[in-house]
Amino acid sequence: MGRETEALRRELADISERMATKDDVARLDKEVEDIGEKMATKEGLFALERRAAMKFDAVDNELKALEKRPNLRLEALGARWGLASERAFREAVRELLREAGYAVEKWVYFHSEGHVYGQPRRS
């Protein structure tokens, strides 16, 4: 019986070493809870993505509005000055664009097929 008892004691000691105590379980539960608080959920990420997309759309709309503004002002200036001042207006705009680093060229094309105006002409 001595050998069997000793074998059972070793097996019991081995099981005791592998088993977790209530303190071990509580510590692991706390670690899991802490990790859960630090991690983002899929719903949170989707909400963040939606907010970012909405901000992007708002910025995109503002840029489009800003893009239209100079064109409207130039058209208004051209309409106010009339056809008689069109050359002066074009020269002023050409100078503004040149200062901004752009090149403006006059382009005249003879339209021989007449698809645009119904007859051949320069356009």
Over residues 33-88, the pLDDT tens digits come to: 888 777 777 888 888 899 999 999 999 988 888 777 777 776 776 666 565 577 77
Tokens linked to 82: 């009339």
Max intra-chain CA distance, the chain: 123
Quick one: pLDDT at residue 51? 92
Mean pLDDT across the stretch 26-37?
84
User: How crowded is residue 19: how many other Cβ atoms within 10 Å of its Cβ?
Assistant: 8
Where are the alpha helices (H) located in the chain, listed in sequence order?
2-18, 22-38, 42-81, 86-99
